[in-house]
Chain A
């Protein structure tokens, strides 16, 4: 009898160990719209690269969290000298790259020096421009000296473009990415899917997923049946016009969050008559933000009155500076002598630009302007608008995080030039005090809201759709990434 009981006990124990009561699923198929050109985040601007590898395959000294906060990653902690120029990072030990080589201070020096080298093809080389020297103190300590203090330095190190790579694998990361993250690259069937598997010797908290597959579904119309049929269980950046077909279905969650994408009607400030404040004000008054949001983002965007993300603690709501007022717009146009002004609005091939363009054009016609819409491809947008500055106006979303400083850049495409604004950005670069930084950001926002170098439309929403039993995916997109480290099935 006792033997029998013992036997049963052992059997039950064995059962409970081998099968933790109804083992939850450990695989996940995610849908992405764009296929990345390659998988090296330090050699390309495509957000599609970060969507696969950020936080999953590659890690940096710091990283950006779901709400845009800076978190320690491969650097466990750091100290900053009083003059704000010397950063000393204490690195995690016992970290291995996926090919088995060890991570240490030499890899950090290699990665940062490579990113800022003369022949570097890093798309955000500017992030590293203030670095003067990178010194290896010991295998677990790195000292970075800046030329000038830089308030956003820790944040900058959290970008995908600043991840740490190994000298042994840097050259082949495009095809076979080797990082220190919780997932290893497994395979890539071009045009079809990219697979990651759990890394067995990850230094941090182990991830719940064993396998993750990113499937490329380029068409919004195909994304809906892919989710409904269960072929794809999560679509973190879902085309917003397909949401209505899924919203009512309890098997799925539709999660709307924010992004760093300020969607603007940028004007060519160096070209008459857009160099006149009155003309730009008139255009701002003519636009009804809500109608643009309804038409171009299924009503999900957040109206903005300046170039700043609403989820940022330093955000000011300035949408009231130029409310929708066609009467005022007409009066200003008359004062400026711009009645019947012909202008072209160049539209890149995104939904928000093409649909938003139609609405804005009709609103501008309403107040006596004569807009013409010119749909163009991204390649043309980059060469005609961005590089050659050959445009009157364009609709585009600036998705880089915290990028209000673009208005201080010389020769940037919209040609805004305001020494007072430039001074604020210069002050921000050297200011480390959070309260003062917030104040400066506020001033910068107010100047842009008044000056309207661009008409500020809305913050691009992030619409995520996934299986209701899935948790841990990001609601917001402070950077365009799909961090899978906390993702698990709940049943």
Chain B
């Protein structure tokens, strides 16, 4: 187990280093001057030069790369060009929305998907299976954006139960903040649940078709006991993989849903930073995301080891 962990950590560190090079290089070749973007069409060349100097854009490439990476190592993410506040403060602010939202959506989607997947797999081919998988198919097909708007019109405009969007901040109280996250959680969780339910069903059916299940059944183990004790555990590996991917997506890939609910989440921060060429924010946040994806993958790998002892030596 120790060697397994050490090998994984080494790979993770190399990935981070490589990612920092790629991220930095890609943003360097991206056309567009942040200073020009901030000062606009009427800016004089002197004003532009003064601003570029202030932002440290006039320094050589290597100096800037080293300054950035050494900053990262000491957890100093730099200062945003556009907002001129520390990037770490911006990220923490956004995480206070994105992290609870991602966790809540993942929890909700798991709570829906796994029972539905098990139900469908245990009744393979029966009406219950067809019906629940039909619904899941619809869930996968519905665009996130459209579903989110549907929820807004129903619960905010028509019923007026929750606000149409926005986030008052946790400072405004736990309930108002949670209330603002109800619709976004639903909008994110249901399509994810649809995917996860299909994966759960497929994995479980796959497991149920294995020889050891037939052997177990032949030994006289009951149908439900086989399902719950033998097949489910094996089916959990692909499910955990998908959940890991979904969590990474929910953390930062939800800019469309964040836009519909005008939530100040991480996705919008990156999107806005790219269009405004706030390079330091893009670089630092992308690195942070790379790090969290690597961490999630590491946890998923570890969970394999827990689910299936054979993985520990692989």
Show the binding face of A for B, using Cβ within 8 Å.
Answer: 35, 37-38, 44-46, 118-126, 174-175, 189-193, 215-219, 221-222, 225-226, 228-231, 349, 377-380, 382-384, 386-387, 398, 400
Contact = CB atoms under 8 A, between A and B. Distances in A.
11 contacts: A45-B41, A124-B42, A189-B167, A191-B265, A192-B262, A215-B262, A222-B164, A225-B156, A225-B165, A229-B152, A383-B32
A219 B47 contact: no
A45 B260 contact: no
> Which 10 residue pairs spanning A and B have beta carbons closest together?
A45-B40, A379-B32, A191-B264, A37-B82, A219-B259, A192-B264, A123-B39, A229-B164, A121-B51, A125-B44
B37 A378 contact: yes
B137 to A, nearest CB: 25
A217 B32 CA distance: 25
A383 B156 contact: no
Contact of B32 (A118, A190, A380): A380
Contacts of B263: 191-192
Contact of B82 (A38, A123, A216, A228): A38
Contacts of A192: 166-167, 169, 262-264
A228 B157 contact: yes
B160 A229 contact: yes
A386 B262 CA distance: 31
Contacts of A221: 145, 149, 260
Nearest to B160: A229
B275 interface: yes
A386 to B, nearest CB: 6
A344 to B, nearest CB: 15
Interface in B23-55: 30-34, 36-44, 46-47, 50-51, 54
Nearest to A412: B41
B66 to A, nearest CB: 25
Contact of B156 (A191, A217, A229): A229
Interface residues of B, number: 52
A121 B265 CA distance: 30
B304 interface: no
Interface stretch (B83-91, B185-193, B286-294): B83-91
Contact of A45 (B42, B149, B275): B42
A118 B84 CA distance: 21
B166 A123 contact: no
Q: Classify the secondary structure of A's interface with B.
A: loop
Contacts of B37: 378-379, 382
A124 B156 CA distance: 43
A380 B34 CA distance: 11
Contact of A191 (B46, B152, B268): B268
A230 to B, nearest CB: 8
Given A191-B265, A216-B262, A386-B36, 11 more contacts: A38-B83, A45-B40, A126-B42, A189-B93, A191-B94, A192-B169, A379-B31, A379-B32, A379-B33, A379-B37, A384-B31
Nearest to B32: A379
B128 interface: no
B78 interface: no
B84 A190 contact: no
A217 B153 contact: no
A387 B46 contact: no
Interface of B: 30-34, 36-44, 46-47, 50-51, 54, 82-85, 90, 93-94, 145, 149, 152-153, 156-157, 160, 163-167, 169, 259-265, 268-269, 272, 275-277
A123 B33 contact: no
Contact of A190 (B31, B83, B160, B262): B83
Given A45-B41, A215-B166, A121 B82 contact: no
Nearest to B264: A191
A175 to B, nearest CB: 7
B23 to A, nearest CB: 17
Nearest to B153: A225
A382 B36 contact: yes
B40 to A, nearest CB: 3
Nearest to B39: A123
Contacts of A222: 149, 152, 164-165, 259-262
Contacts of B163: 229, 231
Contacts of A400: 41-42
Contact of B264 (A44, A190, A382, A387): A190
A378 B30 CA distance: 12
Contacts of B272: 35, 191
Nearest to B40: A45
A361 to B, nearest CB: 23
B169 A377 contact: no
B94 A175 contact: no
Contacts of A118: 46, 50
A120 B36 CA distance: 14
B38 A44 contact: yes
B93 A377 contact: no
A122 B44 CA distance: 9
Nearest to A47: B40
A119 B254 CA distance: 40
Given A218-B259, A222-B261, A222-B262, A229 B157 contact: yes
B39 A225 contact: no
Contact of A121 (B30, B39, B90, B169): B39
A44 B42 CA distance: 11
B40 A377 contact: no
Given A119-B50, A229-B164, A231-B165, A383 B36 contact: yes
A118 B49 CA distance: 10
A231 B275 contact: no
A383 B33 contact: yes
User: Of residues B40, B94, B264, which shows the largest number of chain A Cβ atoms within 10 Å of its Cβ?
Assistant: B40
Contacts of B51: 121
B264 A231 contact: no
Contacts of A379: 30-34, 37, 275-277
A120 B160 CA distance: 49
B261 A45 contact: no
A401 B63 CA distance: 42
Contact of B262 (A126, A226, A230): A226
Contacts of A217: 165-166, 262
Contacts of A380: 31-32
Nearest to B275: A377
B269 A191 contact: yes
B259 A120 contact: no
Given A123-B43, A382-B36, A225 B149 contact: yes
Contact of A123 (B40, B169, B259): B40
Contact of A219 (B44, B84, B85, B262): B262
A377 B261 contact: no
A379 to B, nearest CB: 3
A226 to B, nearest CB: 5
Nearest to B268: A191
A197 B32 CA distance: 37
Contacts of B260: 219, 221-222
Nearest to B166: A215
Contacts of B268: 191, 218
A411 B152 CA distance: 49
